[in-house]
Amino acid sequence: MAPDQNETADERTGARIVRLTPPAGLHYHQYCYGQWIAPDCRTLLVFRYRELRRDSPIDLYRVNTDGTGYELVAENAGWSTISVDGKFVFAGTAGGILRIPLSGGRSDTVFRSDSYRGMSANAQTRDGQFLFCHAFGERGHELVRVQLDTGNANVLFQTDYLMHLHLHDEGRGRLLATVRPPGLEWGIYTFDLDGKDFRKLPFTRSTNHFASLGCTGKVITTVHSGGNAIEIGTPGDAFAEVLVEGEGFWHPTADSTGEWVACDTNWPDTGLMLVHVPTRRFRVLCFTGTSGGHPQWAHAHPRMSPDASYVVFDSDKSGITQTYAVFVPPEFKAELRG
């Protein structure tokens, strides 16, 4: 472990927590878009303010889940995605999408356009053929599909609202986003890789914080109005169902199988919860110490590793937001499985 990393045990649960980022910079992990972690579950992407100033450029770094290997990937990068083979990072920039070796090195441009104020690289299909990007500018928001072997790009639809675009059901052919699709009402939808066949999630009280429930095809969201809960919905269904309730669940995340969910809490913060979906039991995994205030850098934004072995989160408990990984003790899983 490098000298500036630190490892602690949560004071109340004993779970092992590793701070992944150097403490002098403001960091946050790639909490809501893209393929944020390499296929081996060992390397992930984090952002860093280049300087502690509000108008600082923001750079993209990679780091290993043991806190080693912290290296610059790209300067001035937006939301990005790691390629399915784990070799590259597709990084969004104002002028297009760059492809950069995850191990560092020269970048090349896979898509260039001067007509957008910004772009993010949100999802790559499992066959590696297509990259789906969220572009925004004077025309509003556009879903752009880039064919990676040719560089050809198509605008699949335009809209006045598109957020949280990411690959659904572990890449089995659909995308997930909050969107106002052409001719349809605003909501959380899944849609196919041609930007068609919109299927709305039956969420009536969502916080707009949601995630795919692994490969199940279902989606989870947190809800606050009418009680605090995590709900599960199936695209196109009429109703959602309550998975668990009782805590101020805030930002949910799931593993690749859909068996495990992690979720931070607020109002009050009662800890980062580990939820076992089949039994609907949950317990505190750790306390993030984040202040839970208005700025995004005050939110924990947990993301669970595909193999459910750890959860990455942000915390401003040191005064400067850092990215941490908490490792799920096997006995916690055994307890919840019952």
Partner 1 sequence: MGCERVARTDPETGVKILQLTSFPITHWHLGLGDFITPDGERLLIAANRFAGRNSPRDLYSIRANGDDFHFLLHDFSGGVICPRGQWVHTGCAGAVVRIPIEGGNAEVLWNPGCYTHIMVSARSSDGLWLFGQGRRKADGCFDIVRISTETGESSVIIRASYVMPVLRGSANGERLVASIAPVGDDGKPLMPWGVWDFSSEGEGSDFRLVPFSRSTNHYCPMGSSGLVVTTATHPGNALDVAAPGGSERVLAHGAGFWHVSSDETGTWLASDTNWPDVGLQIVNSKTGNYATLCMTGASGGHPQWTHAHPVISPDARWVLFTSDRTGFQHVYLADIPPEFKKVLSAP
Contact residues toward partner 1 (CB under 8 A) are: 26, 51-54, 56, 291-295, 297-298, 316, 318-321
Q: Which is nearer to partner 1, 190 or 321 (CB)?
A: 321
Is 298 within 8 Å of 288 (Cβ atoms)? no
Smallest distance, Å, CB 28 to partner 1?
12
The CA distance from 142 to 326, in Å, is: 36
Q: Which is nearer to partner 1, 256 or 321 (CB)?
A: 321
Smallest distance, Å, CB 159 to partner 1?
24
Smallest distance, Å, CB 238 to partner 1?
37
Smallest distance, Å, CB 55 to partner 1?
9
Q: Which is nearer to partner 1, 24 or 155 (CB)?
A: 24
Q: Which is nearer to partner 1, 142 or 316 (CB)?
A: 316
Up-side HSE of residue 284: CA atoms within 13 Å toward CB? 14
Nearest Cα to Cα of residue 79 among 45, 102, 42: 45
> Which tokens sit at 160?
């006045």
Is 265 within 8 Å of 283 (Cβ atoms)? no
Smallest distance, Å, CB 322 to partner 1?
11
Is 51 within 8 Å of 25 (Cβ atoms)? no
- Cis previous bond, 268, omega within 30: yes
Smallest distance, Å, CB 186 to partner 1?
22
Q: Which is nearer to partner 1, 75 or 335 (CB)?
A: 75
Q: Which is nearer to partner 1, 212 or 291 (CB)?
A: 291
Nearest Cα to Cα of residue 210 among 226, 227, 193, 223: 223
Work out the end-to-end distance of the chain between its first and last CA atoms, rounded to an integer number of angstroms: 35
Residue 220 carries which DSSP code?
Answer: E
53 residue type, one letter? R
